[in-house]
Amino acid sequence: MEPGYSRKRSGGLVISETGAEAVAGLPRISSVCSSRESRVAEGKKLIMGKLKKAQKFATRLAKMIKPTDSRIKEADRVIRKKKEDEQALKIKEAPQTSSAMFLKYNSQLGPPFHVIVDTNFVNFSIKYRIDMMQGFMDCLYAKTTPYITDCVLGELEKLGQRCKVALKIIKDNRFKRLACSHKGVYADDCIVQRVTQHKCYMVATCDKDLKRRIRKIPGIPIMYIRQHRYSIERMPDAYGAPKN
């Protein structure tokens, strides 16, 4: 007979006080079950964490594949280029230049001079009260033929009454018209393209942006207004044009 227990006459067991204290110290069944559930939950968390780490590692591996790998589709695959030999001769394609630029200056320039006039050049000439034909003669010391493109005329017509005097001036018989095949009335692109193709022209403008673009084209003089008179830059010294 274990301590803490006594047998009745009828054959049953009676728990003494010491036995009750011993039973109270034992863990209950519900507490044991809850501890098992918590352990199972912790195990599941560990497994899920490992799975997530494995998935992240797999995605990293997928990202780490080289772009030249054979497993990538041919359309997306990067083709390795051979390293260029530093000692080999390098061929550079230079832009085609006009034969008129064989010498240091443009040989196509010469009297009578052909000047493409911009919109603001006409307006500033009116503002400073400069006779355009006389101004050309005083600047270049030679006969000059001014040209007006269709887009320049369109710009002046678009401005309306403000350029009424300018329209009267450019409709003079001494001003020649140049037909434009492009769309719109933006004159800067038209003038730059025309001057690039034909080296016989010089450009009269006071627009800083247009002057900057024309300076990139070799051999094209630029006429502008300075101190209430016409001045010219990039003109060959042989013609005796006034310097800045």
Confidence band of 29 (pLDDT split at 50, 70, 90): very low
The verdict on 111 and 226 lying in the same domain is yes
Is 88 inside a domain boundary? no
Does residue 127 form part of some domain? yes
Q: What is the pLDDT of residues 46-98, one digit of tens each?
A: 676 666 666 665 565 556 667 677 777 777 766 667 777 777 777 777 667 67
pLDDT, residue 92, reads 74
Q: Which tens digit of pLDDT belongs to each residue from 182-199?
A: 887 788 999 999 999 998
Are 122 and 165 members of one domain?
A: yes
Q: How many domains does the chain have?
A: 2
Looking at the structure, tell me whether residues 114 and 38 fall in a common domain.
Answer: no
- Residue ranges making up the domain that contains 208: 102-239
Domain check: are 146 and 65 in the same one?
no
Q: pTM of the entire structure?
A: 0.58
Residue 5's pLDDT is what? 47
In this structure, is residue 90 part of a structural domain? Answer: no
Read off the pLDDT of each residue in 127-148 and give the average, rounded to a whole number: 94
Can you tell me the mean pLDDT for 136-146? 93
- Tell whether 94 is covered by a domain: no
CATH number (domain holding residue 144): 3.40.50.1010
What was the pLDDT predicted at 161?
87
Does 69 lie in the same domain as 177? no
Distance separating alpha carbons of residues 241 and 142, to the nearest angstrom: 10
198-205 mean pLDDT: 93
Peptide bond before 112: cis, by omega within 30 degrees of 0?
yes
Whether residue 213 lies inside any domain: the answer is yes
Residues 106 and 64 in one domain: no
The neighbouring-strand residues paired with 6 are 14
Is residue 68 domain-shared with residue 113, that is, in the same domain? no
42 and 147 housed in the same domain: no
Quick one: 45 and 141 in the same domain?
no
pLDDT at 70: 73
The verdict on residue 155 lying in a domain is: yes
Domain check: are 114 and 218 in the same one?
A: yes
* Residue 1 located in a structural domain: no
Q: How far is CA 103 from CA 97, 100, 191, 203, 215, in A?
A: 12, 7, 24, 21, 18
Burial class (CB in 10 A: 0-12, 13-18, 19+), 236: middle
* Residues 138, 43 share a domain: no
Does 16 map to a domain? no
Q: 227 and 108 in one domain?
A: yes
**Long-range pairs for 240-244: beta carbons < 8 A, 24 or more residues apart:** 240/141, 241/139, 241/140, 241/141, 242/139
Task: Please name the residues in contact with 199: beta carbons below 8 A apart, sequence gap of 6 or more.
Answer: 98, 100, 101, 106, 108, 109, 219, 220
Q: What is the pLDDT of residue 62?
A: 52
Are 204 and 115 in contact by the 8 Å Cβ rule? The answer is: yes
